[in-house]
Every structure is written in C-alpha cells, then in structure tokens.
C-alpha cells in the first residue's frame, strides 16, 4: 500500500489543469476560486480496489445524495463547496497524480500486514 500526502496552496494554473474537463462549465471560475481559498491536502492511495473504495468513502458528488458516514455526507453541504475530490478511474488517478506529485515523491512499501490480508 502507498499513501503519499502533500499540504500546501494549489496554484490557479495547477487547479485549472486538474479541472480542465470542467473549463467550459459556468461554475469553473468559482470552483478555481474556492479551491485556491485555502490549503489543500493531496494524497495518493494504492491498494486493491483503491479507486472504488475511495469513492465509497467520499460519498456521492452531491452531498445531498451522500450517505451518512461518508466524508461528503458528514462534512459537505453544497456541491459547489465540496471539500474532497477523488479520481473516478485508475486512468484519471494516473493523470492527477502526475499533476500533483513528482515521481520521486512517490514511495512504495509493503505493510507488515500484507501477507495476512492477501
């Protein structure tokens, strides 16, 4: 399993690249403004079913549709002020990881519990 984190302020250029698929949407400028209004914690999770499990933990994109016990269900109120992002596929994750992290920042290790779990 791999978990890498980084804390800091995301530049407008990085956020615009990250959300490039939304650039033509009317809410794009406010999304960039909101995302750059405070520090961001970027993380990489690796493991069996990491994307699917991560998306389950996050909850539905619209917090109103998120189950209690999920991050969005417990801590979000409005879709325009969503507090968390999760890649929707392994392909998206690879692109997003490359945007947020340098290769040398990614460290892989084997947990002592690996052989018990797999």
pLDDT digits (tens, 9 = 90+) for 6-55: 678 899 999 999 999 999 999 999 999 999 999 999 989 888 899 999 99
Map out the domains of the chain as residue ranges.
4-116
Q: Measured on CA atoms in the order 58, 62, 66, 72, is the torsion positive or negative?
A: positive
Distance separating the N- and C-terminal Cα atoms of the chain:
12
Output the pLDDT for position 23: 95
Q: Under a CB-based contact definition with an 8 Å cutoff, are residues 89 and 50 in contact?
A: no
What are the C-alpha distances in Å from 36 to residues 16, 58, 79, 104, 115? 10, 20, 16, 25, 41
| pTM score above 0.85 | no
- Confidence label for 5 from pLDDT (cuts 50, 70 and 90): low
pLDDT digits (tens, 9 = 90+) for 77-115: 988 888 899 999 999 999 999 999 998 888 877 889 888
Output the pLDDT for position 3: 47
**Domain 4-116 CATH (choose: 3.90.1200.10, 3.40.50.720, 3.30.70.141, 3.40.50.10490):** 3.30.70.141
Residues identified as active-site: 85
């Amino acid at each position: 399993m791999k978990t890498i984190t980084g804390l800091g302020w995301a530049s407008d250029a990085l956020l615009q690249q990250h959300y490039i698929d939304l650039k033509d949407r009317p809410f794009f400028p406010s999304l960039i403004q909101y995302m750059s209004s405070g520090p961001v914690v970027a993380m990489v999770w690796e493991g069996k079913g990491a994307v699917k499990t991560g998306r389950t933990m996050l909850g539905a994109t619209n917090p109103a549709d998120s189950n209690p016990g999920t991050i969005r269900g417990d801590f979000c109120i409005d879709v325009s002020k969503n507090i968390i992002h999760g890649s929707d596929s392994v392909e998206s994750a690879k692109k997003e990881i490359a945007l947020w992290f340098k290769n040398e920042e990614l460290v892989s290790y084997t947990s002592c519990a690996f052989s018990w779990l797999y």
